[in-house]
Amino acid sequence: MLRQRRLRTAAETHLMAYLRRTARGPAEFVGLPPWWLIGEGLLAGVLGAGAILGITFVGVWTGVPALADGEGGLVCAAALTLYLVLIGAGRALVGMVGLLAICLALRTPQAAAGVVLAERGRAQTVVVTSVENGGVVAGERGHYLCSVADHNGVPLKVRIWRGCERTTQPGDLLAVVYDPQGQLPSRGVDSGVGAPEPLGDLAGWAAALVGGCVVATARSYRLSRPAGAEMPTGRDGAEQC
């Protein structure tokens, strides 16, 4: 009876240890992780975040819809997640990095559009034709949406919320920035919002993604051989005896 209880306790302990290794990664090193392992994580994170940002910015600048809408960034996010799976990173950390990469890919198009408009956009004034309460827009409450038309009476396809306020009335003039190449929708000009804000938001997400890659890569390090393996091999490629 005592022996069965000990066997059951040992099996439960082994199972819990296996689940922890699977979720968080084996991390089979003493003290701090090797410097080259941290470098590998930094390289993977920087390349992954750079690919997500770069391919989206290029897509917005050139007007390629598949890249400008964030689809290319999602492909890069999937590739980074697959890389972490292949090196044996913990499943929980892989999921965290994958979620960060997806969030970065989805938030980049709007910020990229703002940067491109700030670089090559041109300002013009438009006439407000109607105003309505937009409720929640861009994660903030209290925004109003203005339908506008140019001085020739041609209505813009998008409604403007930057610069559209509670006191705005039909017939008022609003300043907007438009893309002379016609690849990006026009945006209102809001003096209270600076250009660095969206880039700062992306920098935070990118930094979190790089940090997650470093942790996931470092904890993927394995020295001991898996159960049932004939010839164990570590992440450094050396056979373990």
> pLDDT (tens digit, 9 = 90+) per residue, 130-160?
988 865 544 444 578 899 998 888 888 888 8
Of 95, 92, 71, give the one whose Cα is nearest residue 81.
Answer: 95
Strongest mean pLDDT among 91-105, 142-156, 165-179, 220-234:
91-105
The answer to whether the predicted template modeling score (pTM) of the entire model surpasses 0.75 is: no
Mean local confidence (pLDDT), 201-229: 78
State how far the Cα of 146 lies from the Cα of 142, in Å rounded to an integer.
13
Judged against a pLDDT cut of 90, whether residue 76 lies above it is answered with: yes
Confidence of residue 1 (pLDDT cuts 50, 70, 90): low
Judged against a pLDDT cut of 50, whether residue 15 lies above it is answered with: no
Determine the pLDDT at residue 29.
56
Walk across the sheet containing 173-178 and list its strands. Answer: 140-149, 122-137, 173-178, 187-188
pLDDT-wise least confident of 33-42, 204-213, 222-231? 222-231
